[in-house]
Amino acid sequence: MHRNAAFKLSLTVGQPRKVATLTMAKFWVFTCLLVSSGMADPSMSISKNILEKYDEGLRPRCNGTVRVTFDIAVRQIIELDEPKQIVKLNLWIRMKWNDCRLHWNADDYGGMESIVIPASRIWVPDMTLYDRVSRGFEEIGGIRAVVQSDGSVVHNFPALIESSCKMNVKYFPFDRQECKLIFSSWVHDGLQIDVVNKNPQADLSNMATNVEWNVVNVPAVRHVVKYDCCVAPYPDVTYYVELQRKSMYYIFQIIVPCSLISALGILSFILPPESGEKVSVGVTILLSQAVFLMLIGDLLPPSSETLPLIAIYFDFSMVLVGFACLTAVVTLNTFHRKDEDIPNWIRFLSFRILSKIVFVNANSKGVGVSSAAYNNSRIAPFKHGIIKTNKTADVTETGIKSDDAAGATSNSSNNNGNKMPPSGAERHELPSQEWRMLALIIDRVGLALYIVTYFLGTVAFALLFALQ
């Protein structure tokens, strides 16, 4: 009985040991299964075999020249900095080449024909954007590449690039820009790496919309260039990014306001000289146009090769407004003259010729003295440019009846038809009324020149923009 109890006790004590041993065995079996399953993965075996003695720093020398097929997809036009002449793009770079050191027999690895490995572990062509103004493709090391069993390598990766772009802003804001993106190997010449474009133009199917620019077309052209430094040629693939500006914003924010401000220059001619605001209106308009011209200058590159037509148009408008200010000054100076007579040649040119051109009737509005107040023989030195009418009173330019003229008329009628010469007040008033009439004619001539020049200039610039 004691033996049975001891036997049962030994079984009870030895049972935990067997459980622990069985658990340990299961753990090792599971570990072996994991290891065996990992070793059974063909991609791991392929990567280990082809990269065991592979040097990613050496160019493949299978057939002498490595042929690199290059292509890009334009994802987004981020910015076109016109003052700095820099374009910033988001591109998808697509390259393909053959590396004979990376081939394997797919039948030996369960029919696996391609694997994905980090690009930093294989040789990658040193494709460089020639006119870049920032970092290149240094970030591609973290992007994976697809390696096929025949040694072909497909490497697609995104890139944010900044390149110089020569701007031609002659037709701003209706301009069309072309930015060149030149891709080629920086170290290897054409005898070592031959770069060719895959498609005749870049892929635009996945491009995001830009608020200011439309991408019209991005053709690709392959060039072979020989530089002075080297004997061997250097092939490159050049993409011409053709951009069309969306001009609606600039039309309503710059062109239309400037045109309206220029048209307001007519107000300086319409205002009467007595208001005292003719010159101040012109100066205010001139300052407003100067502000618009400064705004345009901030948007455009400081280049003397091509002058924007819109800037020339703004200068043209400022010259017109300056002419309006000058005309206002001359008009005011003429209007307030009193004590001197108008020279005969000016009187003839103004009252006989210019007055008819600008539709001013100088024979009915010239002065404020009636011809019935004196006979022609006695007042000949004073009657040049005088209104000749049979009315008893005449109206001056400002519409006020001359009391002296009315008095002279009544006196002449009371003297039994005897014609009396003009009094001292009448003689003082005659030159003043002539100068006022001359000021009116000058103002009207300036207004006519302003309107005709403004209209013809605006139409000419509109045709230049339309025919570009």
Q: How far is CA 188 from the centre of its chain?
A: 38
pLDDT higher than threshold 90 for residue 139: no
pTM, full prediction: 0.70
pLDDT higher than threshold 50 for residue 408: no
DSSP 253: I
Residues ≥6 apart with Cβ < 8 Å to 181:
72, 89, 129, 131, 161, 163, 238, 239, 241
233: tokens are 């040629």
Evaluate whether 114 touches 149 at the Cβ level (below 8 Å): yes
Rounded Cα gap, residues 95 and 68, in angstroms: 7
* pLDDT for position 23: 64
Residue 235 three-state SS: strand
Pairing mode of beta strands 213-217, 144-148: unpaired
Write the pLDDT tens digit of every residue in 254-267.
888 888 888 888 88
In the chain, ranges of CATH 2.70.170.10 domains: 49-246
DSSP 82: T
Among 23-37, 85-99, 242-256, which is the least confidently predicted range? 23-37
pLDDT higher than threshold 90 for residue 197: yes
* pLDDT for position 393: 36
Residues ≥6 apart with Cβ < 8 Å to 314:
258, 289, 292, 293, 296
Write the pLDDT tens digit of every residue in 30-48.
555 444 444 457 888 888 8
Among 232-246, 310-324, 328-342, 352-366, which is the least confidently predicted range? 352-366
The residue with greater pLDDT, 392 or 253, is 253
In the chain, ranges of CATH 1.20.58.390 domains: 249-335
The mean per-residue pLDDT over the stretch 338-343 comes to 77
Rounded Cα gap, residues 42 and 108, in angstroms: 9
* pLDDT for position 181: 95
Strand partners, 235: 224
* pLDDT for position 141: 53
The mean per-residue pLDDT over the stretch 168-184 comes to 92
Evaluate whether 419 touches 412 at the Cβ level (below 8 Å): yes
The residue with greater pLDDT, 76 or 387, is 76
* pLDDT for position 370: 32
Query: Following CA atoms 58, 59, 60, 63 in sequence, which dihedral angle do they give, to the nearest 10 degrees?
Result: -140
Among 13-17, 141-145, 214-218, 330-334, which is the least confidently predicted range? 13-17
Write the pLDDT tens digit of every residue in 98-114.
998 998 998 888 888 99
pLDDT band at 152 (very low <50, low <70, confident <90, very high): very high
Architecture of domain 49-246: Distorted Sandwich (2.70)
pLDDT higher than threshold 80 for residue 353: yes
Residue (of 128, 108, 264, 145) closest to 184 by Cα position:
128
Considering the chain, what is the average pLDDT of its residues? 78
Strand partners, 193: 66
To which residue do tokens 């199917």 refer?
205
pLDDT band at 365 (very low <50, low <70, confident <90, very high): very low
The mean per-residue pLDDT over the stretch 66-94 comes to 93
DSSP 162-223: EEE-----TTTTS-EEEEEEEEEESS--TTTEEEEESSSB-B-TTPPP-SSEEEEE-BEEEE
pLDDT higher than threshold 60 for residue 457: yes
> 3-class secondary structure for 7-39?
HHHHHHHHHHHHHHHHHHHHHHHHHHHHHHHHH
The mean per-residue pLDDT over the stretch 403-413 comes to 41
* pLDDT for position 4: 53
Write the pLDDT tens digit of every residue in 209-228.
999 999 999 999 999 998 88
Domain 249-335 falls in which CATH fold?
Methane Monooxygenase Hydroxylase; Chain G, domain 1 (1.20.58)
* pLDDT for position 373: 33
The mean per-residue pLDDT over the stretch 349-358 comes to 83
